[in-house]
Structures are given as C-alpha cells and as structure tokens.
Chains A and B, each alone.
Chain A
Amino acid sequence: MNWSYTIWIPLLPLLSFVINGLFYGRMPKKMSGWLGTSALGISTLLSWVTAWKYFFNTPHQGPYEDITAWHTTWMHLTDRFTIDLGIYLDPISIMMLIVVTTVSFLVHLYSIGYMATEEGRNRYFAWLGLFSFSMLGLVLAPNLIQTYMFWELVGVSSFLLIGYYYDKPSAVKAALKAFIVTRFADGFFLIGILLYSYYSGSFLFEDINNIPAILESNGSLPVFMGLSALTWGLLLIFIGGAGKSAMFPLHIWLPDAMEGPTPVSALIHAATMVVAGVYLVARLFPAFHASDHGFALQIVAIVGTFSSLFAAIIAMTQMDIKRVLAFSTMSQIGYMMTGLGVSGIGEEGLGYTASMFHLFTHAAFKALLFLGAGALIHAVHSNSLKDMGSLRKYMPISHITFLIACLAISGIPPFAGFFSKDLILEAAFEKNKLIYAVGWITAGLTAFYMFRIYFMAFWGEDKVYAHKPHDPGITMTLPLIVLAIASALAGWLPFNEWVTSNHETLHTHFNIGSAAASVAIGLVGIIIAYILYKNPSMTPQKMSNRLGVVYQTVKNKFYVDEFYEGVTQQVILKRIATPIAWFDRHIVDGTMNLIGNTTVRISSIIKGIQSGDFQVYAFGILIAVIGLLVWLNYFIQ
C-alpha cells in the first residue's frame, strides 16, 4: 500500500506558514486565516484517511506494522553517522496525527473569529502554521535526531506565540521564561540522545527500542552509580520530556505561558506540544521498560504522580481562569506519565493504552475548555473569575459545551475522561497502591477545581457587564460544538484494539469497583464545589482565611517560582555569575588590555626614533659606525 502521500500532512501547514509569512503585509484582510484553516483542513482530512486506512483497511494478521512512509538521508556525516528525515507510521503516531491536525484545524477556525480585530493576524496565522508543521514533524519522526529538531522547532513556535503580544511586558517575559526553561531541559535531552545513541549505535527508534540487541552487540555497558549508560540516557531524555510537558519541577513556564492568545493555549499548551513529553516516553517505551528493569519508568511514574497532585492542589486556589486550566493540564499530563510509569508490556500494558487514551481524550476536552474560556474572555474582556458570573444566561452554547468538558475531565460517565482516567487508575491500582491513592485523590480535586470555575463563571452572582456578553460567531462556536461531541463520545472508542504497547489487541475488562470509586470521588468534588460556589456566599473566603498560611502557600504556587528566582538571583547570579564576570572583566580582559597598553606605551616611547628627520638618522648611523669601529678594533682579537 502506498503511504507516501502522508508527506503532505506536515507540508501543507508549512506552505501556509511560508505564504502567510512572506506575504505578511500584502494580504487581503481575512485571507491568512482562511488559508491556514484550509491547509490544516486538508491535512486533517489526510490524517483521518490515513488512520482509516491503517486501522481498518490494511489486511494484517497479528500486530499492526510499523511503516516508514517516506525516508531520505539528509546529512551524510560519516558512514556510521547520518542524519535522516522520514515519516514513520505506527498506532501512536497516527493517533497523534489525528489529535494534532484536528485540534490545530479547529483552533485555526476558532482563531478567525477570535483574532478578527487583531492587527498582527497574518503573523499569528503564519506562526500557527509553523507550529502545526513542527508538531507534525515531531510526531512523525522515525529517529531521535529528527525528533530533537522538531522538538526545538515547536519550542520556538511556542515562544513566538506566547510572545505574540510583544508590546506587553508580561507576555515577553513569559515567552522568555518558557523558552529558557524548556531549553534548559532540552540541553539534558540532547546529552541523553547522544549518550544513548553512542551505545545503541543508531538513532532509529526501531534500533533504540531493541534493548536485548543493544546489550548483545555491546557486551557490557558502563555502569555509573548502579545504573547502566542506557538508563542514564533515558533519564536525561526524560528530563527533556518533563521540561516540555511541564512536570515538576520544570513546570514553572506553563502557567505564565497563558499570556499568549487563548487559542494558542488551547493548541500548544493543552492539546499538543505539552503532551510531547508523554509521546516521547511512549515512543521509547520498550527501552524505558527494559532498561535496568524499568528503573527510569519508575522515575516517570513518581514524577507524574507527584506533578498531578501538586498541580491539582494549586489549581484550586487560582483566580485566573486560564491559570486554573494550565495547572489542570499539568495535572492531567501527570496522569498520563503515571499511566506510562505503571505500565508493563504486552498483556500487562494497560497503563500504556490508558495513557495514550487519556492523551487523546484530554486533547479533546482540554482544548474545549480553553476555547470555551477563550469565548468567556472574549465576552467579558477579562481573565479573572472575579469578573465573571451568571454567564449561562448570556452564552448558552459556551455554557453547555463547557459543562460537557467539565464533566469529561471530572471523570463522570459516559463522558470521555471517565474511561481513560479510570483505566489509568486501574493500571495504577495493580502496580502500586500509593500511586493509586494519590491519583484517586487527585481525581476528586480535579472535579472540585473544574466545577469551581464552572460555577463561578456560569452561576454565582450576576455581574454588571459593560457590554452584554453573548455567544461568539459561528467560526468560534463550531469548534466548541465539534470538540464537545468528541469529549462526550471519545470514551467509547476501542483504544485497546488500536493503541497498545505491542500493537496487538489488549484484553481489558471493566472493573466496576474501581470505576465506582473514581466516580464517587468525582461526585464528591462536584458537590463540594456546588455547595461553595453555586450561590454567591462568603464561605470560600472564610475557609481560605481560616487556612491562613497554608492557603497563601498554595495560592502562591508553593513558592516554586520564588525559589527559582532566589536560586538564580542569589546563587547563580551572585555566587557564580558575578565572580565569573569579575574574572572575565579583570583577568581575561585585563590581560588583553595589559598587552595592548604596554604596546602603546612602548611605541610612544620609541616613536621619537622614527622622527623622519634624516639628519637624526645620519647622526645615528655615524654613532653606530664609530661604535662598530671601536668594538672591532679594541674588543675583537
């Protein structure tokens, strides 16, 4: 079967980027948006066709095959070291194709309405195209080098889009913060790639994931602190993934990234780019699982679990609707990491399937939440929950879709989040009771903070609005409706047949006890939110006052930002950078200045000799000749 047409899936957004970028100022008013949307529309169509062909229309026995649809050697450096570009199709890359193109298409469509009054619209759509291209290149990569290239490209496009309002200092700061934090993590990622590939002898995922073959060809691998070089490589790669996926303690950039336009938050910081870390771990899952009996995988599970709880606690106290959603994203990505971390391979690969399933459903309902929040912000011109209330009366479509998304993320059946989250918790329950308990509590917290913002925005006190809020136009409501349908129904997809750790059908059975437990805690969260926020009251205020220091600590995000600030200011800048700067200025520059100044001083002394006055020269010659004669006569035998 011919798959080579898939190259157009990433190339069409690139085309949109190039055209919008080059003809930036010379375009008719609405053209850039429709151009980007139609390019993404075709890509989306192609992705769905690919998925359909791959899962239903390819005759196969046993596992799904990995297909290299297109392949070229980009740089031939040495015989052993070449950099290849290609397109690699397997269940998870096709799933990501669907997620990325669909969400990107809907966000493009939504942005036409959302950005209608912006001056820099063409620039915005150009960068959106660049991001879509980079993200597709990332998910389709057949080797680590291509992954890394596109990994950096999505980082750059994320930076550009967060800093879209470049005349707003906080946006510029947030963009820089996102870029620097993820770059910091990517440094480890690159070291990890090089370390790992040095021992595996290849960048291709097929070779990298084949740990027994690597061990066989290497004999014995170097061991450092009880872990083999491969495990160290994987841990470093995971640091890169954790940076991109906003795992603790590299999460600080994600809440600030909300300074970008809301559709960008929906696309990049909810549905696609931030799950790249999860995707990376899933991509390298056999290696993670096999190396040192899955030590690296345990780290993934611990980091994921901790991040999910940590972020959920913070999310309960934030007043900015987008920041709540940002912490919620971090929490849900923590779930996905947990799912991968507790998973085995083959028949034990429930966590893997659950994690990918959750990635898929999360993309739908989190994009919907962000786009819904965008509609609210668009209507009331403020991010703060304090400025919202009783919006259900004015914005029925936004209200219903937002409610569906809230139910989905809270894990209420039959909405999508219930199925995927329940699978993750089930997988965790079989592996580690503590992880399960934390995940279970987090599920309750999730339901609470989601319904907190739901009740605060759509119910509660009726505010006085300067302009009467109303539902946005069709380009903005259509994506909401599509995503709401997806959030409601995606849970019924038979993911266990499609996306599994060994590409074979995984037999799952519905565990009623676990499901009941997670629904129960979700309902408890919702009921508490209902009591506290349904009607305007002073109870939440009183409760937070009673909690005092604890509340303040959580509201200030456990002072992690302040900690980083302190470390960079007090330790790095003061103790390291300042002495180095002093050394540079005084010792390095000083040496150079000394050489220069000495030369100048000597030349100013001896330049009198070169007076240009021939009589002085003649006198010099005379003295020299006389001196020479005296020397020859009296001192030489």
Chain B
Amino acid sequence: MDSGIQISDILIVTAIMFFIGVYGFVTRKNLIAVMMALELIINAAAINFIMINKLVFKTNLHGVFFGLFIIAVAAVEVAIGLVIILNLYRLRDSIDPEEITTLKH
C-alpha cells in the first residue's frame, strides 16, 4: 500500500469527521440526527485505529480487531438508542433534545 497516503492525511480526515460529529451532537435539534452525529464520532475513532494499525504496526492486527469491536458496540448502541427514541416519541410526541430534560430531577 504505497499509495502515498500519509498518516497525517488520515488524521486530518478523521479529526474533521470527529469535530463534525461533535458539532452535530451539540447543535442538532433532532435526536436521530444526534445519533447520526454520534456515529460520525465513533467511526472517526474506528478509522484511526484501523489506519494506524495498517500504516504503523504492520505486523499485527490489534487495531483492526479493535475496529471490529467498535463497529459491534456501535451497532448495539444504535439499536438501543433508537428504541429509546421511539419510546420517547410515543410518550412525548417529540424527539427534540431540548425538551428531554426531566432526567435532571
């Protein structure tokens, strides 16, 4: 894989992905969009693991396996998250995060 892709290129891309995710997580007014932003954050991390494994530690696969774990956990998390959002919608007729503030009590 001498395609000329440098590790710094990957890091720039994932950093941009990560901060787009953070921005979305903080600003979106729809819980599903928030979940999507969360996916961006998780995947930015997963890409980092895999690419660093590929480019720096070429003799083992630890990073790749970690990436697989992250995908599995993210899938579970999305499933649970969507269930919660669905129930919330049934209860409140709304999935606006600004209205979901009762857990502070």
Contact = CB atoms under 8 A, between A and B. Distances in A.
Interface in A608-637: 610-615, 618-619, 622
Contacts of B81: none
A278 B27 CA distance: 92
B27 A612 contact: no
Nearest to A619: B26
A611 B104 contact: yes
A12 to B, nearest CB: 66
Interface in B78-105: 97-98, 100-105
B22 interface: yes
Nearest to B25: A618
Nearest to A620: B26
Which residue, of B22, B27, B34, B104, has the highest number of chain A Cβ atoms within 10 A? Answer: B104
A611 B105 CA distance: 10
Contact of B26 (A611, A612, A622): A622
B104 A615 contact: no
Contact of A612 (B22, B25, B104): B104
Contacts of B98: 613, 615
A574 to B, nearest CB: 52
| Majority DSSP secondary structure for residues of A touching B | helix
Interface in B22-47: 22, 25-27, 34
A129 B105 CA distance: 62
B97 A614 contact: yes
A618 B102 contact: no
Which residue, of A610, A613, A614, A619, has the highest number of chain B Cβ atoms within 10 A? Answer: A614
Nearest to A607: B104
A610 B25 contact: no
A619 to B, nearest CB: 5
A615 B26 CA distance: 5
A612 B97 CA distance: 10
A615 B27 contact: yes
Contacts of A615: 25-27, 34, 97-98
Interface string A344-375: 00000000000000000000000000000000
B35 to A, nearest CB: 12
B50 to A, nearest CB: 24
A611 B103 CA distance: 10
A453 to B, nearest CB: 80
A212 B64 CA distance: 105
Contacts of B34: 615
Contacts of B25: 615, 618
Contacts of B97: 613-615
Interface string A514-545: 00000000000000000000000000000000
B51 to A, nearest CB: 22
A611 to B, nearest CB: 6
Contacts of A610: 104
24 contacts: A610-B104, A611-B101, A611-B104, A612-B100, A612-B101, A612-B102, A612-B103, A612-B104, A612-B105, A613-B97, A613-B98, A613-B100, A613-B101, A614-B97, A614-B100, A615-B25, A615-B26, A615-B27, A615-B34, A618-B25, A618-B26, A619-B26, A622-B22, A622-B26
Interface of B: 22, 25-27, 34, 97-98, 100-105
Given A612-B100, A618-B25, A618-B26, 5 more contacts: A611-B101, A613-B98, A613-B100, A615-B26, A622-B22
3 nearest interchain CB pairs?
A612-B101, A612-B104, A619-B26
